[in-house]
Amino acid sequence: MVGGLMIATAGWRSVFWLNVPVAVAAVALSLRCLPADARPARTRRTPLSPGSRPRSRKGDPMGQVLAVVGLVSLAGGLNEAGTRGWTSPLVLSAFGLGAVALTAFAAVERALEARAAADGRRAPLLPPSLFRSRAFAATAAVGLLISLGYYGILFLTTLYFQQERGFSALATGLALLPSVGMGLPAAPLFSRISARTGPYVPMAAGLVLGTLGFLGWLLAGDRTPYPVLLFALIATGLGQTMTALAATAAVIDAAPASGAGIAAAVFHVSRQTGSAIGVALFGTFATTAAGFTAGLRLSAGVAAAAFAAGALLALTAGRGTRARPSVDPR
Task: Give the Cα separation of 250 and 253 in Å (integer).
Answer: 5
Residue 247 near residue 310 (C-beta atoms within 8 A) = no
Question: How many other CB atoms are there within 10 angstroms of residue 54's CB atom?
Answer: 7
In percent, how much of the chain has pLDDT > 90?
42
What's the pLDDT tens digit per position in 171-226? 999 999 999 888 888 888 887 888 788 888 889 999 999 999 999 999 998 889 99
Q: How much is the pLDDT for 254? A: 82
Cβ atoms of 98 and 71 closer than 8 Å: yes
Higher pLDDT pick, 51 / 230: 230
Q: According to the model, what pLDDT value does residue 141 have?
A: 93
pLDDT of residue 326: 39
pLDDT at 57: 58
Torsion of CA 75, 66, 133, 257, to 10 degrees: -110
Query: pLDDT at position 120, please?
Result: 64
What's the confidence (pLDDT) of residue 320?
A: 59
List, as one string, the DSSP characters of 252-269: HHHS-GGGHHHHHHHHHH
Q: What is the mean pLDDT of residues 128-137?
A: 86
Q: Which residues contact 24 (CB under 8 A, 6 or more apart)?
A: none
